[in-house]
A and B are shown apart, each in its own frame.
Chain A
């Protein structure tokens, strides 16, 4: 004889703890995304760049996203990946900075602390199998020391003189290897800006989720400075010679 099976009426809520029921609530794919962030150390501090695009799949949906932000006094945060996860994280970081301010004892959170806190959040979320779908670059000056670190959705962390996320790690990183590594202390701000523009131009030419409106930012002993959006000079003459791809 068949065992009696009990069926719940469809209006009865199933226990939430049983994750094998009900809709998936974790992020399974990023929705509105930002592409590469490029950053490196130079003589006076840290420099970083990212464009202003929030892509919706392949659609250039939001064309005025700010993907570089200041955290605390001397820390800069660059983000690629899901924009809404980034907005959530921004609120958390604001809470953290506000809490620190409320202590009112003249102490503040340095870049290393921001980086550590951020890494812990990312690691906590990935252990819940509900990661924040981002790759972050944290840069700043902590007690006179230049700090530049990376953390992504798997909570992989590393620090380096040069960092590029996403497509940038394929297209910009080789340029940074050649032009920056081993000589960070010799690079003036002028040269740093030129290197940054070269990286962003290559990315604009070859990464289809990028956009010719971008910001750059720097952290020096004076503090954080984020530029207004600007565009790069480009030259599409070569396009005439492209043959194939249905052209």
Chain B
């Protein structure tokens, strides 16, 4: 009669030592469209495919600016991402007001990591249904972090989360050694190349569904959408043409 007795809330273990609610939340991340993040020695880039609920609707925002030095890309429940981005913005502002310095990226991510972990431990709560890639530039250089609903936070050279993100990760794993010395432009194109591997059959990246975000040594957190992404999509397609020649 009952399929699973152990998935009613996040504070119940299964006899096999699993917490199903946390696993379900991690599945929610895979429902969202893919986002890719990658890092060179001076810059960090995010690329994302946006989805629109129907033909008449606008595309859902995937990349959110937190501060001049930090941004996030979202895969999963957008509403949960908004809660987290509000919190991050408040913390970033607090750091500026109290200490006059930009919030260190690692601390920001660990702070939301702790919030997510609390949700997996306390009775009557639910885990966040969203995964984030957090990028930023601070005193210790550029950073790329993954935040997941389980509360695990990890740092990467390049990573991808969301639907069919395994394809993007495979692409990143093949190429990550060359990221270090790339220019910002090259890094963005590489990000789009990895992102393209996650697109479902019969669809492609265009300036309506593509979103680009970056931040770096001499670049404040910037988000490119619409026409602004065309330049990079052209570079991506040019590169492809050259490869096939």
Contact = CB atoms under 8 A, between A and B. Distances in A.
A175 B107 CA distance: 46
B100 A107 contact: no
Interface in A105-145: 105-107, 109-110, 112-113, 115-117, 120
27 contacts: A103-B104, A103-B107, A105-B104, A105-B106, A105-B107, A105-B140, A106-B140, A107-B104, A107-B138, A107-B139, A107-B140, A109-B99, A109-B101, A110-B101, A112-B100, A112-B101, A113-B99, A113-B100, A113-B101, A115-B100, A116-B98, A116-B99, A116-B100, A117-B98, A117-B99, A120-B97, A120-B98
Nearest to B106: A105
Given A103-B104, A107-B104, A120-B97, 18 more contacts: A103-B107, A105-B104, A105-B106, A105-B107, A105-B140, A106-B140, A107-B138, A107-B139, A109-B99, A109-B101, A110-B101, A112-B101, A113-B101, A115-B100, A116-B100, A117-B98, A117-B99, A120-B98
Contacts of A115: 100
B13 to A, nearest CB: 30
Nearest to A110: B101
A136 to B, nearest CB: 16
A110 B101 CA distance: 9
Interface string B85-125: 00000000000011111001011000000000000000000
Nearest to B104: A107
B96 to A, nearest CB: 9
B18 to A, nearest CB: 31
Which of A105, A110, A112 has most B Cβ within 10 Å?
A105
Contacts of A109: 99, 101
A106 B106 CA distance: 11
**Majority SS at the chain A contact face:** helix
Interface of B: 97-101, 104, 106-107, 138-140
**Majority SS at the chain B contact face:** mixed
Contacts of B101: 109-110, 112-113
Contacts of B100: 112-113, 115-116
Contacts of B106: 105
B142 to A, nearest CB: 15
Contacts of B139: 107
Q: Report, nearest first, the 7 A-B pairs whose CB atoms are least far apart.
A: A116-B100, A113-B99, A105-B106, A113-B101, A107-B104, A112-B100, A113-B100
B224 to A, nearest CB: 30
Contacts of A112: 100-101
B169 to A, nearest CB: 26
Contacts of B97: 120
Contacts of A107: 104, 138-140
Contacts of A117: 98-99
Contacts of B98: 116-117, 120
Contacts of A103: 104, 107
B185 to A, nearest CB: 29
Nearest to A108: B139
A115 B106 CA distance: 24
A203 B16 CA distance: 77
A146 to B, nearest CB: 16
A100 to B, nearest CB: 9
A14 B2 CA distance: 61
Contacts of A105: 104, 106-107, 140
Nearest to B101: A113
A110 B99 CA distance: 9
Nearest to A106: B140
Contacts of A113: 99-101
A74 to B, nearest CB: 14
Nearest to B138: A107
A113 to B, nearest CB: 4
A116 B99 CA distance: 6
A95 to B, nearest CB: 13
Which of A109, A112, A116, A117 has most B Cβ within 10 Å?
A116
Interface in A56-106: 103, 105-106
